[in-house]
């Protein structure tokens, strides 16, 4: 018994599939306009139906529930089915005397299983089965209608659950991509801090040796220690929101802007790559330098894989007094629009954590364009 209760309890306590369901689009308003017209048309084509005018009125009124089916799925489901099934029971309408256009209620069923909470799934499913069995009990028994109705509801619920789990899987993949990017940021931070702390330790040892014989040398060592410590703290503040699992840092040195020219090696084939760095980039902080390299590397890799008929990829980094701007463009032909991949999600996460801005998309003057803008040395407050 407990093995059966635990899965039900897990579903009962489950949160809605999406905390921010899709907003209304033009299709929703089209349904609100077209469905009443179709309902009235059915009324004209079936004038012999009993209680035709009240049936048309109730059926048209319930159409409004479709506007809130994503944000209040169970409430709209209860209103829609309650109104129409209650009217059918009061008027003793059998299956043959109902409006076919009430079939739009499957949209409310889909909404419950696509965007509803765990309670909505279980209670909504129970109500659907109860409604189908009640309708069969108050009407002449028709096995075909009973089985057909249950199959339609089951198919609709299955489609809703399938898309719900698919959306949840994508959210989890995006979260993993963000987590991986934060791990890379943490590794880069480890290398940067280790470098500065090593310099601090060396200067401190030198100052201890020189303090007795040369106080001026000890003072100079303290100034270096102060500078290195200040830079280390500043870079740690810029990365404070990054996350990292409890695993050892990679021993490979963090990449620099000088490593960008490795991306243009001709032995890889594919489009020609031109890398340009302008401005005083020598004093950029470690996290910013590493982020620029990672974003450029990912953008070039994506262009090599996906840019159609591309002959050239331009990588340009411009450094000024406050900002660093990275622009990667290819001359490939525009392709069909697609959902942003995990690579773009990772790049966006990295730039956001450093207090910058990131955009990617087709450029009117060329193919795909990636633009990242980062503070020169400081992250977001």
Same domain as 6, residue 130? yes
310 within some domain: yes
Give the global pTM. Answer: 0.48
Q: What is the CATH number of the domain that holds 281?
A: 3.30.565.10
123 within some domain: yes
HSE-CB at 291 with a 13 A cutoff on CA atoms is: 39
Q: Give the residue numbers spanning the domain of 327.
A: 257-375
149 within some domain: no
Tell me what pLDDT residue 245 has.
43
Put the strands of the sheet holding 323-330 in their side by side order: 272-278, 312-319, 323-330, 368-375, 357-362
330 within some domain: yes
47 within some domain: yes
DSSP characters for 116-185? --HHHHHHHHHHHHHHHHHHHHTS---HHHHHHHHHHHHHHHHHHHHHHHHHHHHHHHHHHHHHHHHHHH
206 within some domain: no
Q: Report the alpha-carbon angle 28-31-33, nearest 5.
A: 115
What is the number of structural domains in the chain?
A: 2
Tell me what pLDDT residue 381 has.
35
116 within some domain: yes
Q: How far is the C-alpha of 220 from the C-alpha of 320, rounded, in Å?
A: 30
> Which residue, of 141, 162, 190, is where some domain finishes?
141
Q: Any bridge partners for residue 199, and if so which?
A: none
Q: How far is the C-alpha of 269 from the C-alpha of 2, rounded, in Å?
A: 61
57 within some domain: yes
> Which residue, of 103, 118, 141, is where some domain finishes?
141
**Nearest 5°: phi and psi at 362?**
-75, 135
Residues in the chain, pLDDT under 70: 1-20, 93-97, 118, 132-146, 149, 171, 174-175, 177-179, 181-201, 203-212, 214, 217-219, 221, 226, 228-256, 265-269, 334-342, 365-366, 377-381
Tell me what pLDDT residue 265 has.
66
Q: How far is the C-alpha of 136 from the C-alpha of 147, rounded, in Å?
A: 10
């Amino acid at each position: 018994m407990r093995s059966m209760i635990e899965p039900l309890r897990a579903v009962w306590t489950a949160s809605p599939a999406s905390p921010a369901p899709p907003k209304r689009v033009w299709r929703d308003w089209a349904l609100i306009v077209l469905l009443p017209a179709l309902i009235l048309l059915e009324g004209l084509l079936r004038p012999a139906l009993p209680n035709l005018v009240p049936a048309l009125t109730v059926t048209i009124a319930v159409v409004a529930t479709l506007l809130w089916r994503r944000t209040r799925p169970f409430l709209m489901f209860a209103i829609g089915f309650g109104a129409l099934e209650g009217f059918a029971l009061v008027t003793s309408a059998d299956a043959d005397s109902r409006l076919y256009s009430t079939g739009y209620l499957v949209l409310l069923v889909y909404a419950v299983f696509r965007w509803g909470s765990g309670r909505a799934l279980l209670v909504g499913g129970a109500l659907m089965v109860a409604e189908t069995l009640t309708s069969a009990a108050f009407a002449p028994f028709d096995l075909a209608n009973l089985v057909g109705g249950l199959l339609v509801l089951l198919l609709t619920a299955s489609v809703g659950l399938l898309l719900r789990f698919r959306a949840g899987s994508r959210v989890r993949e995006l979260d993993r991509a963000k987590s991986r990017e934060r791990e890379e940021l943490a590794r880069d931070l480890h290398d940067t801090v280790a470098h500065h702390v090593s310099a601090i330790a060396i200067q401190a040892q030198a100052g201890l040796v020189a303090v007795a014989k040369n106080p001026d040398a000890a003072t100079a060592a303290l100034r270096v220690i102060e500078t290195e410590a200040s830079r280390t703290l500043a870079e740690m503040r810029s990365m404070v929101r990054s996350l990292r699992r409890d695993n050892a840092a990679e021993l490979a040195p963090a990449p620099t802007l000088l490593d960008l020219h490795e991306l243009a090696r001709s032995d890889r084939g594919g489009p020609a790559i031109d890398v340009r760095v302008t401005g005083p980039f020598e004093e950029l902080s470690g996290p910013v330098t590493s982020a620029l390299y990672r974003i450029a590397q990912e953008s070039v890799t994506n262009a090599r894989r996906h840019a159609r008929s591309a002959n050239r990829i331009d990588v340009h980094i411009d450094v000024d007094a406050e900002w660093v701007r990275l622009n990667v463009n290819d001359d490939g032909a525009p392709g069909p629009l697609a959902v942003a991949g995990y690579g773009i999600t990772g790049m966006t996460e990295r730039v956001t954590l450093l207090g910058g801005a990131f955009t990617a998309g087709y450029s009117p003057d060329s193919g795909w364009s990636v633009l990242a803008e980062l503070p020169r040395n400081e992250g977001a407050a």
